[in-house]
Amino acid sequence: MSDAILTGNRAKGEVWKGLVAGLVGGLVASWTMNRFQDVWMTLSVNDHSTDTQSANAKSKEQDDTTVRAASAISEGIFDHKLTGDEKRIAGPAVHYSLGTGVGGLYGAVGEVVPEVTKGAGLPFGAAFWLVVDETAVPLLGLSKGPTKYPLSTHV
């Protein structure tokens, strides 16, 4: 690690290369996650279709975590309550920004500390999920605690 840092411009170039690759990877992963969740929710609703209309109405009434985060940012920084149309844009913006940013962090850190990339990044991803989704998001009041959701939600 210190040899790479000491080589100056070359090390900076490698970090930038990792950052850019990570940003692209994070963006693609965020998009893929959304598509997977769309399919998962469709299958989940179809499997439990006892009252599909009330399930859809309930899910539309409640904002997801990304929308709650966007609302907290908007109200806390700009003193502006998001409208429904703004929420439809702001929620995905938070999701894609976080995913892209963390991907960039992973790529840049992986250039400086290659051990981070061991196991195809699975330990890094698992740590990120544990720290952000399971710990920080509930502590910030953006969701209930992890034990309040069924295992299928965590998957």
- The backbone region for 105, taken as left when phi is positive above 0, alpha when psi lies in -120 to 50, beta otherwise, is alpha
Higher model confidence: residue 51 or residue 139? 139
pLDDT at 29 over 60: yes
Per-residue pLDDT band for 58 (boundaries 50, 70, 90) equals: very low
pLDDT at 78 over 80: yes
Amino acid 40: pLDDT: 82
pTM of the predicted protein model? 0.77
Determine which of 23-27, 59-63, 84-88, 147-151 has the lowest per-residue pLDDT on average.
59-63
Amino acid 17: pLDDT: 95
CA 94, CA 86: separation in Å to the nearest integer? 12
Of the candidates 87, 91, 116, the one whose C-alpha atom is nearest the C-alpha of residue 22 is: 116
CA 101, CA 128: separation in Å to the nearest integer? 12
Long-range contacts from 82-87, C-beta under 8 angstroms, 24+ separation:
87/63
